[in-house]
Amino acid sequence: MDTNKLLSKYSIRSTKARQEIAKAIISLRHKHFCAEEVIERLRKKEIKVSRASAYRLVKLFSKRGVLRPVDLNKRWQMYETSFDKNHHDHLYCLNCGKIIEFENRAIENLQTKVCKEKKFKPLKHSLKILGLCRECDNA
């Protein structure tokens, strides 16, 4: 994905620093990450970008819908990209921190049904199930 197109699509002014930060975010798009991981990725490539700039762009991307915050009860706010993923939910291992994404139409339909019954207009939702993954449960 082209960083200039990404910034332009979400009406974010393009600067060299923002392009580099966006590149790092795109490279992390298949995992859940925090702003510190974006900064670490830039440092490893010896790209100088201020910590404040990285945090500001991550926050702006979140506000504009490029990133979705994922509440995983971790020290840092975790994010995932939204531009190449359908809605999904998460299983989170409390022992090793493994995150398993899943989609389940029956759960989605049930949530819609409950909202209709309660005359409630949903704007967004997330489902997170905390527990132990197979490896940790068998340890």
Kindly report, residue by residue over 23-32, the tens digit of the pLDDT: 999 999 888 8
Going from N- to C-terminal start, the domains of the chain cover 3-81, 89-137
User: Quick check: 79 and 58 in contact, CB under 8 A?
Assistant: yes
Q: Where are the beta strands (DSSP E) in 11-139?
A: 67-70, 78-81, 89-93, 99-102, 128-131
Residue range 79-122, pLDDT digits in tens: 998 877 778 899 999 999 888 999 999 999 999 999 999 999 99
pLDDT given at position 87: 83
Question: What is the value of pTM for the model shown?
Answer: 0.76
pLDDT given at position 71: 80
Domains 3-81 and 89-137 share a fold: no
- 89-137 classified as CATH 2.60.40.420: no
- How many degrees, rounded to 5, is the angle at CA 62 between CA 52 and CA 132? 100
What are the tokens at 19?
């392009």
**Ramachandran sector of residue 36 (left: φ over 0; alpha: ψ -120 to 50; beta: rest):** alpha
Instruction: Give the pLDDT mean for 41-70.
Output: 93
3-81: what CATH class?
mainly alpha
Question: At residue 22, does pLDDT exceed 80?
Answer: yes
User: How confident is residue 73, by pLDDT bands cut at 50, 70 and 90?
Assistant: low
